[in-house]
Amino acid sequence: MVDRTGTPLVELRDISISFGGIKAVDHVSVDLYPGEVHGLLGHNGAGKSTLIKCLSGAYKMDTGEILVNGRRVEINNPRDARANNIETIYQTLALADNLDAASNLFLGRELTTPLGTVNDAAMEAECRKIMGQLNPNFRKFKDPVSALSGGQRQSVAIARAVYFDARILIMDEPTAALGPHETQMVADLIKQLKAQGIGIFLIDHDVHAVMELCDRASVMKNGQLVGTVDIPDVTDDDLLGMIILGKKPGQAAA
């Protein structure tokens, strides 16, 4: 069980954001604790991705506040998010297909020699070290990431985030379009990150994945928070009811 007695890693309080008069997110509050996987569920357009983009710095919220380790922070762009140890693993995986794993790990933050040239050997050594922790079966260090499987590509993207001290990880449908073996690989990675005390917001459409991987789930509908539940206390059908009907288990339909 995740200890939720201390200070959350991150709190999104009373977040609202509108586009052209439409409230995409309407006074939503969620939080995340160390070593917790907190699922965000809802139909397309429910507001879950918009909410999390306020945390990643892709969008600027209209009202509300974000606290990291109990301290209010300003997140106006992705650089601000990274400065607060928040990293995002997008479904599209922002990897350079023509480069190998190490070059992707250090993309834009390359290690250099005393002469100022790129230190490929040092980058590969660091890459082997972090991948050894995350995915010991990873062997394709010399191949361009275009030659990697979906799960291996996820490993590289996650390794990059963890290497640069992410404490709060946003994962957007990490197992979409992956086969069963690859999905299990990502699930194992998520369990490892939990063990390291990293908190994960997991955006997903798949109720089964959320039931397997998450400690809590928050469901959104029409920009509003239906509710947040502890996964051990609910069934797949409870979550589906929240998504479709917009009601918490035991509640009359909204």
Q: pLDDT-based confidence at 93, cuts 50/70/90?
A: low
- How far apart are alpha carbons 117 and 112 in whole angstroms? 5
> Is the torsion defined by CA of 135, 138, 141, 146 positive or negative?
negative
Q: What's residue 92's pLDDT?
A: 60
- How far apart are alpha carbons 201 and 190 in whole angstroms? 11
What is the chain's mean pLDDT, rounded? 89
Q: What's residue 102's pLDDT?
A: 92
Q: pLDDT-based confidence at 164, cuts 50/70/90?
A: confident
The full set of domain ranges for the chain reads: 27-245
Residues contacting 57, CB < 8 A, separation 6+? 75, 76, 77, 78, 79, 80, 81, 86
Cα distances from 184 to residues 59, 121, 180, 189, in angstroms, run 32, 31, 6, 9
- Residue 97: beta bridge partners? none
Q: pLDDT-based confidence at 248, cuts 50/70/90?
A: confident
pLDDT, one tens digit per residue, over 182-219 is 788 888 888 888 988 999 999 988 898 899 999 999 99
Q: Pseudo-torsion of CA 136, 141, 143, 149, nearest 10°?
A: 20
Looking at domain 27-245, which of 3.40.50.720, 1.10.260.40, 3.40.1380.10, 3.40.50.300 is its CATH number? 3.40.50.300
pLDDT, one tens digit per residue, over 121-160 is 999 999 999 888 877 888 889 899 888 887 788 888 888 8
Q: What's residue 89's pLDDT?
A: 83
- How far apart are alpha carbons 52 and 54 in whole angstroms? 5
Residue 253 has pLDDT above 60, yes or no: no
- How far apart are alpha carbons 119 and 54 in whole angstroms? 35
pLDDT, one tens digit per residue, over 47-82 is 999 999 999 999 999 999 999 999 999 999 989 999
Parallel, antiparallel, or unpaired for β 22-32 and 37-41? Answer: unpaired
> Is the torsion defined by CA of 106, 103, 128, 192 positive or negative?
positive
